[in-house]
Amino acid sequence: MSSNASTLTELLIRERPALLRLVRRILGSDSSAEDVIQAIWFKARGVDGSVAIDNPRAYLYRLTTNLATDQGRKRSRQARLLADHYLWGPDEVLSTEEQAMAQDELQRVLAAADHLPEPTRTIFRLNRLQGLTQAEIARRRGVSVTTVENHVRAALQRLAWARSGR
């Protein structure tokens, strides 16, 4: 284990109660706070030691904030999907033919998503699957927001074509 990983792990053990409070504040409850703390532990243990971390405590709190925020976004996306299921799913009974057509449509879209060119595929996944904003993606990738918008638009257009069978 690198010296950074060792330092962060020791700090995580000492700061655990405060980190749990932070995660609970971000998530609004403690239902998945322990999961976030465990994810932080795994991340901390994997930190490279080639460059020393100047402020390990700040690094650990930033990591905690980021992972808790990601968890909150994931939970929100899942809640929306569940709401859609309850709004449209059980009452909408599809015939066998409609189910087969929907499955075929889904397979075309998934195949098209797998074949998106880079960096379009990565930007699309960060935005639509991981819930990052276009500004966050632009900062992370070192490009302009317009570039991110163009990649997302291109991905959506290709997936729409695939969905329609073109």
One-letter amino acid at 66 equals N
The answer to whether 148 and 125 are in contact (CB under 8 A) is: no
Q: What is the pTM of this model?
A: 0.49
The answer to whether 127 and 136 are in contact (CB under 8 A) is: no
pLDDT in tens, the chain (166 residues): 778 889 999 999 999 999 999 999 988 776 688 888 999 999 888 888 888 899 999 999 999 999 999 888 887 777 666 655 555 555 556 667 777 777 788 888 888 888 899 999 999 988 888 888 999 999 999 999 999 999 999 999 998 888 887 6
Q: Which residues contact 43 (CB under 8 A, 6 or more apart)?
A: 63, 67
The answer to whether 49 and 3 are in contact (CB under 8 A) is: yes
As to burial, measured by CB atoms within 10 angstroms (0-12 exposed, 13-18 middle, 19+ buried), residue 9 is middle
2 sits in which H/E element: none
Token pair in block for residue 165: 């069978």
The answer to whether 144 and 138 are in contact (CB under 8 A) is: yes
Greatest CA separation for the chain: 61
